[in-house]
Amino acid sequence: MRGKKRTKKAGANKKKVPINKDAYSDASKNSLGHEFLGEFYEDIHYQCYKCQQPAIFTAIQQKKSFEIRKEYMHQQRILCRNCWLKLRQLKCEMQNIEQLYSLDKEKMKSDKEFLQEWLFILKEIPKFGKKTNTARIRFIEKILGQ
């Protein structure tokens, strides 16, 4: 008896994280795959799209994402935490730029530095696996005379 209790499988001391399907978002519930979810989350190992470093989407993080923040269950993680934070920063800068532009288009169109920064961010974001905004890039390059 005693010996049996003591034999632990590798990783058995890791707490299992149960899946609560009912807590998923409606979009997830309606998606194919929801009914096939297992009982427990498992760590997902992946490589960051941007920096190529190995990263882990842990069981606990999955539970928080899908059940508390109600993220869509088929949304894939492709970035490590550092790169994800960098992307969030870029998106934030992009928002500021777009807002500045919409406030005074004519003035901003003549601000070369502003346009160059905008162009830089537009070209940087696709490196994180996001879509390239080709129309916007061409629009700015045209103003800059490139």
Contact residues for Zn ion, defined by CB under 5 A: 48, 50-51, 80, 83
Helix (H) or strand (E) holding 135: helix 134-144
Query: Between 29 and 81, whose beta carbon lies closer to Zn ion?
Result: 81
Please state the closest distance from residue 92 (CB atom) to Zn ion, in A: 18
Query: Between 51 and 100, whose beta carbon lies closer to Zn ion?
Result: 51
Q: Using an 8 Å Cβ cutoff, are 86 and 121 in contact?
A: no
Helices 112-124, 134-144: inter-axial angle, 10-degree rounding: 150
Please state the closest distance from residue 45 (CB atom) to Zn ion, in A: 14
Query: Between 41 and 128, whose beta carbon lies closer to Zn ion?
Result: 128
CB atoms within 10 A of CB 80: 20
Please state the closest distance from residue 46 (CB atom) to Zn ion, in A: 10
The DSSP code for 56 is: E
Helix (H) or strand (E) holding 123: helix 112-124
Please state the closest distance from residue 75 (CB atom) to Zn ion, in A: 17
Helix (H) or strand (E) holding 46: strand 44-47
Query: Between 51 and 137, whose beta carbon lies closer to Zn ion?
Result: 51
